[in-house]
Amino acid sequence: MRTTDRTSRAGAAIPPPKRVVVVGAGIVGLSCAWALQERGIEVCVVERHAAGAGSSWQNAGYVSPSMCAPLPEPSVLRYGVSAVLRPSSPVSLLSKTDVRLLGFMAGMVRHCTAARWQRSMATYRELNERVFASYDRQLDGGVEASVTTSDVLTCFARPQESDGFLHELEGIAASGQPVDADLLTGTEARTVEPHLSERVRVAVRVRDQRYLTPSRYVVALARSVRDRGAKILEGHDIGRVDRRGDTVVASGAGGEVEADAAVLAAGAWISGLARPHGVRVRVYGGRGYSFTAPCDGALVRTLYFPVPRVTVAPQEDRARVSSIMEFGSPDAPPRWSRIPSIVRKVNPLMDGVDFAALADQWMGARPLSTDGLPLVGATATPGVFVAGGHGMWGVTLGPLTGLLLAELIATGRAPAPLGALDPCRRC
């Protein structure tokens, strides 16, 4: 059931909240806080580590609505089953005996059909068309960060390897979403981005996307939220969120925070907090790794190498390299041995990047939902809302999520794209 007016799922009238507590200071939680402030609502953000400590810190930083699509689809299933069995594969399971993980994988497999992908893509299309405007709103509204417009070059060593990616773009375009793309030879691609090596024989250029340096963006967003009067309580690990009479209480080792409503935006950790509020869609960690390496002259384009599944983004005079999908607990220790395997795969495809001098090694967990759709909206508990499960696309969709959820919380009416993102949907 969807709540479309100011009633709870149980039918009780709820007054508009004056104070909201947001649990989790990643790009999604901070964007919710920022958008609630735009509507005159007081917010307090509670974060168990520091703002940006989760997957929002050093991801690839693509704001790329033309490529933003649901993860579960038939080719992922074909690729994934063989890939998890190969030790050098960029896709793996952290544990083959973790029952929760196996349950999550079984749920995701069920959604890897063409029909479900198309249905989910229709929702993504509705979201994607608003992504740039949502960023412009934050940038015009005082978030002091830079977001750069750039084409994404998707590069291949063999021309036939581009078939799968072109097929994916065709599927996105068939959903009605505009995709402005063209095919380049290796030589043409090198004139656009000189750091590509001679091994690159063909590239697909997706025009006019954006990228940012995620850690800088999150710091700027947190600063803007604080400047507008919010507290961000760092070091507060919230164990549960409950409705007690007219208030909602977020409690944990650091004490209690009371408000009129709560937004659960705890990234890959969200399920433990959200489950008691009727949220059955599983969210699990898709752990990825990144590092930076110095470049001989700045990179000028964002790059994606689909065969080794590596992305490379400019970060001043360095390249920020990201890869790996390791399904597993976000709290298990990082497996740093994955970094040299990324270098071995990307090094031959690039020139003028000093991989021997790499630094800033990082691991973060993408909050993946079983059906590939984010969870944004009301829960079964009056005044408790969820914003999470954005998987591979939380940077692209974070600011928009904040705007949509703030509209629901402030007005009691769910804007249209939230219909399919109901956190209490059957899945």
Ligand X SMILES: Cc1cc2nc3c(=O)[nH]c(=O)nc-3n(C[C@H](O)[C@H](O)[C@H](O)COP(=O)(O)OP(=O)(O)OC[C@H]3O[C@@H](n4cnc5c(N)ncnc54)[C@H](O)[C@@H]3O)c2cc1C
CB of 5 to ligand X, least distance (A): 27
Interface segment toward ligand X; rule CB under 6 A; list 5-13, 259-267, 276-284, 404-412: 259-267
Interface segment toward ligand X; rule CB under 6 A; list 42-50, 115-123, 180-188, 412-420: 42-50
**Alpha carbon 297 to chain centroid, angstroms:** 29
CB of 25 to ligand X, least distance (A): 5
Comparison of 201 and 275: residue with beta carbon closer to ligand X: 275
Q: Does 213 bind ligand X (CB under 6 A)?
A: no
CB of 227 to ligand X, least distance (A): 20
Residue 252: burial class (beta carbons within 10 Å; 0-12, 13-18, 19+): middle
User: What is the full DSSP assignment across 328-370?
Assistant: S-TTSPP-TTHHHHHHHHHGGGBSSB-GGG-EEEEEEEEEEET
Q: Which amino acid is at 134?
A: S
Measured distance CA(192)–CA(187) in Å, rounded = 9
DSSP state of 325: E
Measured distance CA(250)–CA(247) in Å, rounded = 10
Measured distance CA(122)–CA(418) in Å, rounded = 12
The footprint of ligand X on residues 352-371 (CB under 6 A) is: 364, 366-367
CB of 185 to ligand X, least distance (A): 26
Applying CB under 6 A, which of residues 266, 310, 414, 421 lies at the interface with ligand X?
266
Tokens 């080792």 found at: 253
Backbone angles phi, psi at 319, to 5 degrees: -105, 135
Applying CB under 6 A, which of residues 91, 105, 212, 265 lies at the interface with ligand X?
265
Backbone angles phi, psi at 419, to 5 degrees: -50, -50
Measured distance CA(13)–CA(5) in Å, rounded = 9
Comparison of 190 and 213: residue with beta carbon closer to ligand X: 213
The footprint of ligand X on residues 165-184 (CB under 6 A) is: none
Applying CB under 6 A, which of residues 388, 399, 402, 423 lies at the interface with ligand X?
388
In sequence order, which residues have a C-beta less than 8 Å from that of residue 318 and are 6 or more positions away?
292, 293, 294, 295
Comparison of 26 and 382: residue with beta carbon closer to ligand X: 26
Q: Does 341 bind ligand X (CB under 6 A)?
A: no
Q: 315-318: long-range contacts (C-beta < 8 A, 24 or more apart)?
A: 315/61, 315/213, 318/292, 318/293, 318/294
CB of 213 to ligand X, least distance (A): 11
Q: Does 59 bind ligand X (CB under 6 A)?
A: yes
Comparison of 221 and 424: residue with beta carbon closer to ligand X: 221
* Rounded alpha-carbon distances, angstroms, from residue 270 to 67, 98, 100, 304, 423: 25, 18, 14, 29, 11
Hey, what are 371's tokens? 């059906």
Comparison of 205 and 320: residue with beta carbon closer to ligand X: 320
Comparison of 14 and 124: residue with beta carbon closer to ligand X: 124
Q: Does 240 bind ligand X (CB under 6 A)?
A: no
Residue 136 CB neighbour total at 10 angstroms? 12
Applying CB under 6 A, which of residues 17, 34, 35, 55 lies at the interface with ligand X?
55
Q: Does 269 bind ligand X (CB under 6 A)?
A: yes
Comparison of 196 and 387: residue with beta carbon closer to ligand X: 387
Applying CB under 6 A, which of residues 25, 179, 339, 420 lies at the interface with ligand X?
25
Applying CB under 6 A, which of residues 34, 62, 132, 217 lies at the interface with ligand X?
62
Applying CB under 6 A, which of residues 182, 198, 237, 296 lies at the interface with ligand X?
237
**Helix or strand (DSSP H, E) at 404:** helix 394-411
Q: Does 17 bind ligand X (CB under 6 A)?
A: no
DSSP state of 105: H
CB of 7 to ligand X, least distance (A): 27
The footprint of ligand X on residues 271-300 (CB under 6 A) is: 273, 288, 290
Q: Does 374 bind ligand X (CB under 6 A)?
A: no
CB of 65 to ligand X, least distance (A): 9
Applying CB under 6 A, which of residues 3, 66, 213, 322 lies at the interface with ligand X?
322
Comparison of 80 and 364: residue with beta carbon closer to ligand X: 364
Q: Does 70 bind ligand X (CB under 6 A)?
A: no
What is the Cα gyration radius of the chain? 21
* Rounded alpha-carbon distances, angstroms, from residue 393 to 28, 310, 366, 386: 11, 15, 9, 17
Residue 275 backbone class (left: φ over 0; alpha: ψ -120 to 50; beta: rest): alpha
> Which residues of this protein are in contact with ligand X, per CB under 6 A?
23-29, 46-49, 53-56, 59-62, 237-238, 265-269, 273, 288, 290, 322, 364, 366-367, 388, 390-396
